[in-house]
Structure 1
């Protein structure tokens, strides 16, 4: 009788072993699937930041290509936030109850489609035409000789420009291709909506205890590759002429440092769009649930995971969410939103982060323009500077901040202190930027008089006695550098009578205004482009690079753990919505409004506007350095104030 019992026990033991092996395989499969999901989500994060940086690095190119002001360009840039705002809170709340991986995959596809749509206007618009006196040269086979300064009204560049206005104004006013840029950018914003809140929530739901923070840290660390690649790509595109492959580049008379230069802005959007679509493919193969959802603790949830008695005063205890029955549907959404808005600690953190975000977005959007105007650096080199110096230094400092938090086992309020220290110290160093700038260019009739005097502001006019016999167009911006060291807004305003050369090598001679100021040396020629500044801008730029690197380190140290603070400020079941609300406010105040109002402030510093064929104001050609610098500094004060209210 013992033998059958022994066989029965052996059979039961074998069955248990089989179940345990099966359970172990499922568990390992779930863990491996989560790791693959983290890799896929990381790639999608890289793609979305890549597309965002491509827009930031191309916004000045778009401004010039479509002839808009900086504030209008800011609206184009902010259209991304419009699309994001339409969906972010609803997706964050209702998306958690849906198939999260498929929603993320669909979002990546929409995001990529939006980037490609943004680039489409390039293929439907005509070739880019910039203001140039050489455009007025005869196009036929006549033997007429072109002279910049001519007393013959019938052959003057001004009248030729008027003929071009009459023939092309109607066509130009009928093309609203910038609408496709806004639509594409808005669509990209809609597509990006589910990636961050739902992806992080999915990881936090199915990761082991304590592992979600590790995975999220990896994602945000690796994501820094996106801005790095984005700026490098933006640098390459800005260096290439917008119509490359379609026109003879030897006929181009401007350099990448010229404010009329437009790079191949569309190329970056095509590459970013294709990568975004590819990044969404893996998400369609993930299940809705990797394994049984990790149970939330039935006891009080602590703000800090530490259980030492010394830190009890730093722990915030949430009420047991199971004791209160929450409504469902739309009513549940508003109830959850009310719970978050009644959390004072979360609101203080949200306000501080909003002000910091405004400062950061304003800087990152218009820094390439500022570097171009302040230090005579091309857009290509500006993007290269951001991509090879600022972003890597910032990424290392983010990692360093995480290491400090782990090494010293900082509590939640310890992380807050680190955050406030980094923000205040970085703002103090940023005040030094005010002293790192070059003087304005000496432009006759714009910043100085025709004799080079900058103090006689009442006598600064576009015309002078030296060009009174020339029939010049005062709206034309085609600067030339005279032998006298002054820049003239056009060869005609310099009084030049003849020219030699072709394309960028063109040299103008017999310039009456140059001869008046340089009569002792008897040199009266001028060449294309703006004259170099008198002060040593290259040396000042080196100081700027060092200071920027230092500020990036200080900012990055306090950034590493900021996203984790959101989880610790709210109840566990409100995590996704809290991130959604946080993103909503960042998008509204920082992403949408900041580029517009900062762009409007920059517009006030403009000295010379481009004028379209229809007589409308276009992009700004040159800014006043002091006013531009003051605008940047006033934007920094927002960041200083945000650091002071963090507590």
Structure 2
């Protein structure tokens, strides 16, 4: 008898350790996939500048991840439960690593990056050919050579990034639906929210590491090692700067491949957590699973696919939850993808600074919110209906706080001829650039090249030539331009490279914005786990994996793919000055209208999120009248309510309540 107890105890420890091992491996997988995902989102601006493409095309590249995910999500979600789930997750991590490597490949196939400038690093600076002279040369101006256009515009190296992102999306497919369903199948129902909270924490740790890595790489010049950075005339705050975006993708590729290894050593199935210490239950569980497998072989692997889909589509709570998720994802994908660009254009920060601030201010509170939300669900044994109310009212409160961000604004950068006149007076935008004035008409300056300088009068100019500067001293970033006829000041009328600083008030507004985003991130993440449990518990256990997959499919096809594209096109519409390629064609945008950019960035997500609260309120109404198949009721009185509810909910899924009754009978026997 003692040996039997000892063997049972050993078996229990072994099974429990495997559940925890899978939990740890899955958390690491979430870290690796969100690491590469957040790094990709953070490097969108760098990719835009590297390939000189508009924001709408960058949005399409970003959405290509969802395209790759869509190709497999339904099939993986359905067939995955019938195959070896841990091995499929391991294969997916390996494929993600391959995709990350493919994204970095263009750097090794392209020539060195050349930014538009009136000051050429390779030219003889002492000639001052880029300054205001009556007989200025045309060497610094864009050529109209069609061959140059074919070389630049039709060099589709960005296709490698597109294909790599698609492959990365395909590799990410099995991780969420198969991992969540595996945890739900083999863990206690009261432990499931806490486990999912830990897993979701991985989705915060990964982006935190990814953002720090992106901040580090954005400060490194793209051609580091092959270019003398002392000769550069741009800094990381310049909109022409391109960081070493490719370097981080190589790191992400290695991390994803390493993460895949543990999954190849985990079992296909495990005993239900909490039932491992009873050999009779273990034996009955194995026999039941064996009978189910034989039944599936006889029926065919796809015979229950259509009934499952029919049952899911007839579940109003599930369908409303999908609608809510689609609307919410449309808002948050846009906000997260374009937040670095927003901080750059609105508050004058460099890409590296913007990414670092996002990681420090936003991700830790989200991580804490996920853990606290999971602990609350476990500690107080929150029911699905209570969880839905918690998620709804917390989201409403956070949504109202969000509107304070409209007050934390900065004005447009004062650029002569674009946002202000040469006298420093604010002028109407979108009426055409008036970069030529009486003070620079005789300078023979290029009017399209973006090479900004900041004058002593705190006014920026598109180039030293357009500022009317006649002489220069120093080289590289220490260059100072003097005798500038357009700079009306009592001093030396000099200018330095770069846009002018936006001022202390703008920096203060940035601090307020970041503090508000910290509070909002915590409140929203606190509601995330209760909200996600509504999804898991509103569908039957045998449909869980497919249900999670269909949910992911819908959010990707209606939010993940179109949102970055239409949002990028709207952002492009606020561009005030486009960069210029060698052939004269427009490249990436250099300066945006900060006011209109702010209205789109903050206003559009606010409107979309506002719409999502209508189906959310309807969901609460339905939940108050229904009994969910995944909801565990400990009180016997609930059985009577179940019978009443059975008559009210005959939408072709009447087996809901019989499932609950079976669960109650099993608990009585135990």
Q: Normalising by structure 1, report the TM-score.
A: 0.87
In 2, distance between residues paired with 1:48 and 1:229?
11
Aligned to 2:15: 30
Pair 1:416 & 2:388 matched: yes
Matched, 1:391 2:363: yes
Per the alignment, residue 149 of structure 1 pairs with: 132
Partner in structure 1 of residue 111 of structure 2: 126
Are residues 418 and 37 of structure 1, via their aligned partners in 2, closer, same or farther at CA, if it must alter by over 3 Å?
same
Matched with 1:332 is 304
Q: Distance in 1 between matches of 2:303 and 2:365?
A: 46
**1:588 corresponding residue in structure 2:** 557
Q: Is 1:437 matched with 2:419?
A: no
- Please give the secondary structure, in 2, of the residue aligned with 1:580: helix
Deviation at 1:484, TM superposition (A): 2.3
- The answer for the alignment partner of 2:59 in structure 1 is 74
Q: Unmatched 5+ residue regions in structure 1?
A: 1-15, 296-323
Residue 184 of structure 2 corresponds to residue 198 of structure 1: no
RMSD: 2.5
Q: Which residue of 2 aligns with 1:425?
A: 397
Describe the SS at the equivalent of 2:143: helix
Q: How does 1:245-644 map to 2 (within 5 A)?
A: 245-291=225-271, 328-455=300-427, 461-514=434-487, 517-518=488-489, 521-533=490-502, 536-632=505-601, 633-644=603-614
Q: Partners in 2 of 1:370 and 1:33 — Cα distance?
A: 45
State the SS of the aligned residue for 1:610. strand
Name the SS for the 2:442 alignment partner.
coil
User: Distance in 1 between the 2:297 and 2:116 partners?
Assistant: 68
Q: Which moved more, 1:99-108 or 1:456-465?
A: 456-465
Unaligned runs of 5+ in 2: 276-295, 618-670
Deviation at 1:174, TM superposition (A): 4.8
CA distance in 2, matches of 1:423, 1:292: 34
Deviations 1:455-491 (A, max 9, x none): 4666961211111112222110000111222111111
Seen in structure 2, the aligned counterparts of structure 1 residues 89 and 232 have a Cα distance that, compared at 3 Å, is same
Query: For 1:237-265, what per-residue CA distance to the aligned partner results, in whole angstroms no more than 9, with x for missing partners?
Result: 11111111111010111111111111111
**Do the aligned partners of residues 23 and 450 (structure 1) sit closer, same or farther apart at CA in structure 2, a change above 3 Å counting?**
same
C-alpha separation in 2, matches of 1:445 and 1:174: 31
**Whole-angstrom distance in 1 between the partners of 2:112 and 2:217:** 17
Residues 106/131 of structure 1: CA separation in 2 closer, same or farther (3 Å cut): same
Q: Is the 8 A contact 1:63 1:619 kept in 2?
A: yes
Contact persistence 2:313–2:319 (CA under 8 A): yes
Residue in 1 that maps onto 2:624: none
Whole-angstrom distance in 2 between the partners of 1:89 and 1:455: 53
1:171 positional shift: 2.9
The answer as to whether partners of 2:119 and 2:130 remain within 8 angstroms in 1 is no
Query: Could you say if the C-alpha distance between residues 335 and 506 of structure 1 is closer, same or farther in structure 2, counting changes exceeding 3 Å?
Result: same
CA shift, 1:128, in A, is 1.0
Deviation at 1:353, TM superposition (A): 1.7
Q: TM-score, normalised by structure 2?
A: 0.84
Structure 1 residues 158 and 215: alpha-carbon distance in aligned structure 2, compared to 1, 3 A threshold: closer
Secondary structure at 2:41 match in 1: helix
1:529 deviates by 0.7
Report the CA distance between 1:590 and its aligned residue.
2.2
Cα-to-partner distance string for 1:62-99 (whole Å, 9 max, x where unaligned): 11111111111111111110000000010000111011
Q: Please tell me whether the aligned partners of residues 252 and 504 of structure 1 are also in contact (alpha carbons under 8 angstroms).
A: yes
1:158 Cα deviation (Å)? 4.4
Contact 1:137–1:146 under 8 Å retained in 2: no
**Contact 1:157 / 1:473 at 8 angstroms: preserved in 2?**
no
Corresponding residue of 1:43: 28
Q: Deviations over 1:317-368 (max 9, x none)?
A: xxxxxxx999744442222112101100111111112211111111100001
